[in-house]
């Protein structure tokens, strides 16, 4: 079974789900508006510039999960899915997933956004597997800390390799990876079919230099 891997933010959806979740937390009054928005926006700029300190960012972004009851978090997440994520879903992205599905490929989303935010999005897209940043849990509550290796930059390669070692039925040959971001160059370099989707300026230059496919889902 051949593997087709997809980044999530600004690839399958027309925005950044992690940043959008932060904005949604502001909307529902879960965090301080001025302080949280300032930091959330700055971290997004750093991500886009390829300079994000992932440990620092996760210390910031995962804290709200530890500060509110799980039932309330899940209620907020349902509202976030319907009000924010659904309008971001790209019809061309759904069609691309369908083409790979019809070809018999195994569909995976690999994302640097945490599983709490992305699990229902992956379910919405009906993919076979999700690799995301894992949030530590204790006694049924989130601690606000990361569990394991963050799936960010080279961490995506590390997490994928670990997953493949546990799934020998999945072919390594002929693997596809679709992404918009310079941060995903380590994984794009490892697959047989790298595809730059509505790429940021740095990835666009690299994709054209290397002869990779460049496409749009917008």
Which residues participate in catalysis according to the annotation? 7, 9
List the strands of the sheet with 3-6, edge to edge. Answer: 141-147, 129-138, 106-114, 3-6, 176-179, 193-197, 213-215
Cβ(7)–Cβ(184) under 8 Å? yes
Q: Which of 94, 114, 89 is nearest to 10 (CA)?
A: 89
Strands in 94-151 per DSSP E: 106-114, 129-138, 141-147
Cβ(132)–Cβ(126) under 8 Å? no
Which tokens sit at 212? 């990779």
């Amino acid at each position: 079974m051949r593997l087709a891997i997809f980044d999530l933010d600004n690839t399958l959806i027309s925005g950044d789900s992690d940043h959008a979740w932060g904005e949604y937390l502001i909307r529902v009054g879960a965090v301080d508006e001025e302080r949280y928005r300032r930091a959330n926006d700055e971290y997004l700029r750093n991500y886009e510039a390829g300079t994000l300190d992932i440990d620092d960012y996760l210390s910031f972004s995962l804290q709200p999960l530890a500060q509110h009851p799980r039932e309330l978090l899940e209620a907020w997440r349902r509202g976030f899915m319907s009000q924010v994520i659904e309008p971001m879903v790209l019809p061309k992205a759904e069609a691309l997933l369908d083409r790979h599905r019809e070809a018999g490929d195994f569909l995976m989303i690999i994302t640097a956004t945490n599983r709490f935010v992305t699990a229902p999005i992956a379910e919405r897209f009906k993919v076979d597997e999700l690799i995301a940043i894992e949030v530590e849990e204790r006694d049924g509550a989130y601690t606000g800390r990361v569990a394991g290796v963050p799936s960010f930059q080279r961490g995506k390669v590390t997490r994928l390799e670990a997953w493949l070692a546990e799934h020998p039925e999945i072919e390594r040959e002929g693997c596809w990876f679709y992404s918009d971001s310079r941060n995903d160059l380590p994984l794009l370099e490892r697959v047989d079919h790298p595809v730059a989707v509505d790429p940021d300026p740095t990835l666009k230059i690299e994709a054209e230099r290397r002869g990779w496919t460049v496409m749009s889902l917008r």
